[in-house]
Amino acid sequence: MICGGIDLGGTKIEARLFDGPGAETVDLRRIPTPLGSYEEMLVGLESQIAWLCERAGQPELPIGIAAPGIIDPDSGIMFTANLPASGHSIRHSLIRRIGRDCPVVNDCMAFALSEARGGAGAGATSVMGLILGTGVGGGYCVDGAFPHRHGGLAIEIGHIALPASALARHQLPLWRCGCGRMGCMETAVSGTGLSNIARHVLGERLDGPELVARDAQQVFDIWADIAGECLLTIQLMLDPDCIVLGGGLSNLPDVVPRLEQGLARHALANTRRPKLVCAQHGDSSGTRGAALLAMNQ
């Protein structure tokens, strides 16, 4: 069945057309995200919806939208830091403006859904999608579907506090998170966190590729150890069968064995640890998950 997915980000709005039983990309278009106002952003979304319908030759093409932030499951009202959409319901706005009902889902949840259905988590009963990018976010699926989300939060693992023992072990300071809190997981486990560690250890703020080029093993060892604490928190909270890694840091060399060792270092004795894998659908996974959601509705 043909369907469409849209990834609404702070930089670009990506539209993908999917077809076939595996929901494979057959066409895509990216446009810059208009950030001047909510109305301008909606115009950009409407343009991508119209393009998908035209390319598919189906005016009623199922289309889902993945977006960052908190989306209230009842009202659809959003809270997001990177889009002019806080306090608004994109879904209801589109119904009023163009008569289209496009489900809107948190982008990390869409990523988890995509990887649970025909992705790296296929066959697992419970799948956690862990995105290690500029920030840290997560989504969760059980039996290929979303569990009920009472307040619209996804798996906000990035904003759980780091264990004090992890910081003390590596003599790291508390860093302020973008959310305003001090010492969130995101400040040490994300791409930004990796750069924080590099600055503390090497005196330079370097990103992942630069650290790979320098073979900065000490930085990666510290990062993997603290990321192991993050994975243990996920295991203790959700006990997923599988954790699928996405985001820029999932492309680091040997990232899976590094994180497996980090988790093993901290895991409770005699517990079955989740399988760690990298995403099968890469950068398209969030868009694909939104499309699958629309198709099923």
Per-domain boundaries in the chain: 3-110+283-296, 123-279
Report the pLDDT averaged over residues 252-259.
97
Distance of CA 245 to the CA centre of its chain: 9
Report the pLDDT averaged over residues 99-106.
94
Average pLDDT, the chain: 94
The pLDDT value recorded for residue 55 is 96
In the block, tokens 């990321």 appear at: 227
Quickly state the pLDDT bin for 170 (edges 50, 70, 90).
very high
The pLDDT value recorded for residue 226 is 97
- pLDDT, tens only, 173-188: 999 998 899 999 999 9
The answer to whether 6 touches 64, Cβ cutoff 8 Å, is: yes
Alpha-carbon span 88 to 80, nearest angstrom: 10
Number of Cβ within a 10 Å radius of residue 47: 15
Distances (CA, A) of 41 to 37, 72, 84: 6, 19, 8
| Domain 123-279: which CATH number of 3.60.70.12, 3.40.50.970, 2.60.40.10, 3.30.420.40 | 3.30.420.40
pLDDT at 154 over 90: no
CA 169-178-288 angle, to 5 degrees, is: 100
The pLDDT value recorded for residue 236 is 95
DSSP secondary structure string for all residues of the chain = --EEEEEE-SSEEEEEEEETTTTEEEEEEEEEPP-S-HHHHHHHHHHHHHHHHHHHT-TT--EEEEESSEE-TTT-BEE-SSSTTBT-BHHHHHHHHHS----EEEHHHHHHHHHHTTSTTTT-SEEEEEEESSSEEEEEEETTBPPP-SSS----GGGSBPPHHHHHHTTPPP-B-TTS-BSBTHHHHSHHHHHHHHHHHHSS---HHHHHHHT-HHHHHHHHHHHHHHHHHHHHHH--SEEEEESGGGGSTTHHHHHHHHHHHHSPTT-PPPEEEE-SSGGGHHHHHHHHHHHH-
Alpha-carbon span 187 to 184, nearest angstrom: 6
Domains 3-110+283-296 and 123-279 share a fold: yes
Report the pLDDT averaged over residues 125-141.
95
Residue 242 half-sphere exposure, CB side, CA atoms within 13 Å? 25
CA 33-158-232 angle, to 5 degrees, is: 145
Report the pLDDT averaged over residues 228-237.
96
> Could you tell me which CATH number the domain at 3-110+283-296 has?
3.30.420.40
Alpha-carbon span 57 to 54, nearest angstrom: 5
Higher pLDDT, residue 148 or 202? 202
Quickly state the pLDDT bin for 22 (edges 50, 70, 90).
confident
Percent of the chain with pLDDT over 70: 100
The answer to whether 225 touches 265, Cβ cutoff 8 Å, is: yes
